[in-house]
Amino acid sequence: MSERVNVKKKSSAPAGGNEPGATVAEAKADAALPALGPKEMLRWAWTQLTSMRTALFLLLLLAVAAVPGSLFPQRPANPSVVTQYIKDNPDYGKLLDSLQLYDVYSSAWFSAIYLLLFISLIGCVVPRAIAHYKAMRSQPPRTPKRLSRLPEYGTLVIPADAGIPASDAIHSAAGLLKKRGYRVEVRDDDGARPSLGAERGFLKEVGNLVFHTSLIGVLVSVAVGGLFGYSGQRILVEGDTFVNTLVGYDQFNPGTNFQSGQLQPYSVQLDKFDITFDRESQGKFGQPIDFAAAVTTKENPEAPAKQETLKVNDPITLGGTSIYLTGNGYAPVVTIRDGDGNVAMQGPVVAKLQGDNYYSSVVIKVPDAKPDQLGFAGFFLPTAFVSNDGVSFSGDPELFNPQLTLNSYYGDLGLNDGAPQNVFELDVQDLTPLNARNLDAGGITLAPGTSYTLPDGKGTISFDGVKRYIGVDIHHNPGQLYALVFALLAVAGLILSLYVNRRRAWVRTGTHDDGRTMVEYGLLARGEDHRLAAEAAALRKLLSEEWQLADDQAAKSSPTPTPAGPQGPEKDQ
């Protein structure tokens, strides 16, 4: 005893010496802390990264990082809008560009968050899956010495004349628990008091693991779609054919690892486009209510032609891509001859919708005209009316009185400079006007079947008719189907983890001196389980029916359950 006292006195002495004035602070200052080397730092960083708290934080951070993508125009979606935005905001436009806020979803900081979240989820799921696999293969926990400490506890008494010994009772209880989905282990080596341990609800953790694994699958699927997918837009006039090649797109947005060999050589021809307008409602008269594009498709040049109908929210699928109907309008058909009398341009011109009743703007560029290039800008009216102020407007979206109103220009269109231009805009700054309302020649007003001779012998323009056009979005996402599957699995796993409860049950039997068989049982839930009392009542009912016990006898034999202490069952169970 004296040695033990001396040791305590020695260990409690300050590290700086045995001086009586030494303080605890001085002892702490003199204590040598172990140094963290590179290996220990990496282990600590990995532990922090693979914690569930870090994964949740990264998931929230990823959602916050995606917000700028909805606040600022994105270059992959529309590069021209981004260029114009930078011009309109010279003070901070270039700063935002340097921060990659116009390329949010492919930026370095968004990709870093994405990859860290991916690694964190894997680091969380894999160890938990291994631990759960070992738990499923292990035996149920040992029977506690005092079952009365469990949250749900009860006893039953089997009369001596029933002829059911303790060993038979424990095996019949095991059979009942197995039928209820429990994994049961019978302990017959407990002398005169055999017992069993049972456990169920492993699907709860399985659902949790499926949920988190599915999140990883969704992330991988989205990454695959971003790397190998592509999207594009094309305008098709009635009679035109789109072939799935790079030159066939009006606008094309490839994925990071896109290869032109991924394009399947299918074709789509627009045969006819029909629009149904509302002709009955008072407040919505003249508004479109249905769109239907009759198309002819071919999976490849040798495949047979197939007639299909493309509608809004009802895409067609070809070559692994989905084709969506996104827009429509009118395309006036014109023929333009230059000053030498040669046909410089002939065909439909897409009119861009600008207002109600399909009021549309028209831009025509004729770079092949001689001796000077020609340009036209104006409006197309499906049903032309003139207001009291002399302003033309469209009174109906149908082609009741189509009219083409244009101004004409000549000069250098700037198409030979190599700089891209918007086909729906005409820069008239360097052009000389030929026709306009403020000129002596006036503007050009054409009805179908009429023509107009340009001033100064620059040529002629004729309005031959009107066709309809549609705008289509083409999307190819190889990870889309997998993302849907993993999303459904995540929902299923979440449902399992929410509605399946992890429970443990123990039953112990013994033989009384008078020959009666004493049975006690207890249940414990891992986590909160508001249905544990109902499970205990169901188990009691099954045992009573199995041993044909009277209800009043079973009720008398069950004492009031004793709530478990804050520590649960004893440690020496």
Looking at residue 569, its pLDDT comes to 39
Helix orientation angle between 108-137 and 202-228, rounded to the nearest 10 degrees: 150
Contact 380, 332 (CB under 8 A): yes
Beta bridge pairs of residue 375: 365, 409
SS3 content of the chain, % helix, strand, coil (to 5): 35, 30, 35
Chain-centroid distance of CA 18 in Å reads 67
Task: Give residue 195's pLDDT.
Answer: 92
Are the C-beta atoms of residues 157 and 553 closer than 8 Å to each other? yes
Going from the C-alpha of 258 to that of each of 107, 264, 450, 571, the distances in angstroms are 18, 13, 48, 60
CB neighbour list of residue 85: distance below 8 Å, 6 or more residues apart: 72, 73, 93, 102
- The closest of 422, 501, 405, 454 to 203, measured between CA atoms, is 501
3-state SS of 310-348 is EECCECEEECCEEEEEEEEEEEEEEEEECCCCCEEEEEE
- Burial per residue of 476-501, b for 16 or more beta-carbon CB atoms within 10 angstroms, e otherwise: bbbbbebbeebeebbeebbebbeebb
Nearest Cα residue to 459 out of 354, 573, 372: 372
* pLDDT for 91: 86
Q: Could you tell me the two tokens for 508? A: 């112990």
SS3 of residue 134 by DSSP? helix
Residue type, 536: A
What span, in angstroms and rounded, lies between the C-alpha atoms of 50 and 125? 9
Query: What global pTM score does this model have?
Result: 0.69
Residues forming a β-bridge with 36? none
The per-residue pLDDT for 486 is 95
Instruction: Classify strands 306-310 and 288-298 as parallel, antiparallel or unpaired.
Output: antiparallel
If one counts every other C-beta atom within 10 angstroms of the C-beta of residue 150, the result is: 26
- At residue 346, φ and ψ (nearest 5 deg) are -150, 130
What are the CB-based long-range contacts (under 8 Å, 24+) for 177-185?
A: 177/505, 177/507, 177/539, 180/538, 180/539, 180/542, 182/505, 183/140, 184/140, 185/139, 185/140
pLDDT at 553: 52
Looking at residue 407, its pLDDT comes to 94
Residue 534 to residue 501: CA distance in whole angstroms: 13
* pLDDT digit string (tens) for the chain, length 573 residues: 343 444 344 444 444 444 545 576 676 666 666 677 788 888 888 888 888 788 889 989 988 998 988 888 888 777 778 888 888 888 888 898 888 888 888 888 998 998 898 898 888 888 889 988 898 888 888 899 899 999 999 999 999 888 888 889 999 999 999 999 999 999 876 566 899 999 999 999 899 999 989 988 998 898 888 888 898 999 999 999 999 999 999 888 888 888 888 888 899 999 999 999 888 877 788 888 889 999 999 998 888 999 999 999 899 999 889 999 999 999 999 999 999 999 999 999 999 999 889 999 999 999 999 999 999 999 999 999 988 887 888 989 999 999 999 999 999 998 877 677 888 899 888 899 999 988 888 899 999 999 999 998 999 999 999 999 999 999 999 998 999 999 999 999 999 998 898 999 999 999 888 889 999 999 999 888 889 999 999 999 999 999 988 754 554 455 444 433 333 333 333
Q: Are 502 and 527 spatial neighbours (Cβ–Cβ below 8 Å)? A: yes
Spatial distance between the Cα atoms of 75 and 103, rounded to a whole number of angstroms: 6
CA-CA-CA-CA torsion for 391, 346, 468, 450, nearest 10 degrees?
40
The per-residue pLDDT for 359 is 93
Residue 405: strand pairing partners: 379, 445
Question: What is the dihedral angle through the alpha carbons of 243, 248, 250, 253, rounded to the nearest 10 degrees?
Answer: 90
